[in-house]
Amino acid sequence: MAKLLLRAYAKVNLGLKILDKRPYGYHNIETILQPINFFDIIELTQKNTGIEFFSNLPPYEQENICYKSAELFLNHANLKTGVSIKLKKHVWMGAGLGGGSSCAAQILQGMNKLLGNPFTEKELEGLALTLGSDVPFFLKKSPAYVQGRGEIVIPLPSLPKPLWFVLIYPNFQTSTRWAYSNVKNYLTKKSWEFKVLQALFLNGEVEDLARNLRNDFEELVFQKNPELQKIKLKLLNMGALGASLTGSGSCIYGIIRERDEKFEKAFSGFDVKIVETV
C-alpha cells in the first residue's frame, strides 16, 4: 500500500489585530502567520477501508482533528478506500502555535496526493475551512497575511534571511474559544494600523518588526495569567528584539538575532524551544 511521511509545521503570529465580530461568534482579524521549524510527524498509509488512527498523545480516535480531517476527506471524495494515520506529536497543544490545524491541513493534502488528487487546491481550501480558521493557511506552506476569520490567505515572500524565535510554553493551555468570547472588553479604543507591520515584514526590516509587535489578546490573557507577562518582559530584558503572545496563547515567543542557549537556561522551569523560520 502507498505510504507518505509528512511534517506538520507550527506557526507564530507576527502581530494580531481583532476587528469586528461576525455572525455565529467569529471575529474578523488581521495577522501575519509565519511557519516555524517545529513540527509534528504524520505517517499516512492507504488501506482497504476505514480509518485507523494512532497517536502518542491525546485526544485519541474520533476526538482528534486528524481523524476528523481524514473522515471529512473520505466522505467528500466518495472513494472506496481507507487510511491509517500515525501521529507523533511534538508541538505543544493549546499554545497558539496551530499544531492541530497544521496536522489537519497535512492530512487533507497528504490524502489527496495518496489517493490520486480527487480535489483541486480550491476544493481542499473549502474543506480546510470547515475544520478550523487556521487550516487554510497551512495548505500554503509559506508566510501569509491573513484576514477575515482566517479564510483570506495572501501568501507573502519569505524573509531574506532566517529569523530565530525562542518559544516559551508555560505548561498550561489557553482556550481560543474563551479568549474570543471575552476579548471585546479588553480591546483598546486607540486604533492601530496593521499595515505598519505588514510593510516592515515585506521590507525585511526584522528589528523594527520585532519592536512593533502587537497582539490584541495580550491584555486579556495576561490579566488571567500574569506569569505570561513576566515571561515576555524577561525575554525583552535578556535582549530579545521583540516578544509577543502567539495567537491567544499560551506560548510566548521572543525574536532573537541568533540561536542562544542562555534562554533555555533562564527558562528551565518551562518547555523551551529555539527554532527558526521555515
Residue 22 is classified by DSSP as P
Within 10 angstroms of residue 203's Cβ, the number of other Cβ atoms is 11
- Burial of residue 191 (CB within 10 Å: 0-12, 13-18, 19+) is exposed
Are the C-beta atoms of residues 91 and 278 closer than 8 Å to each other?
no
Q: Position of cell 501569509?
A: 144
SS (H, E, C) 112-162: HHHCCCCCCHHHHHHHHHHHCCCHHHHCCCCCEEEECCCCEEEECCCCCCC
Are the C-beta atoms of residues 271 and 38 closer than 8 Å to each other?
no
Q: Return d(Cα 62, Cα 76) in angstroms, integer.
A: 17
> Shortest CA distance to 102 belongs to which of 178, 9, 167?
9
Which position among 134, 140, 232, 273 bears the catalytic label?
134
Strands (E), the chain: 3-21, 27-47, 50-55, 82-88, 144-147, 152-155, 164-169, 242-245, 252-256, 271-276
Are the C-beta atoms of residues 176 and 248 closer than 8 Å to each other?
yes
Q: Is 134 an active-site residue?
A: yes
Q: Return d(Cα 74, Cα 147) in angstroms, integer.
A: 29
Which position among 11, 17, 68, 232 bears the catalytic label?
11
| Active-site residue list | 11, 134
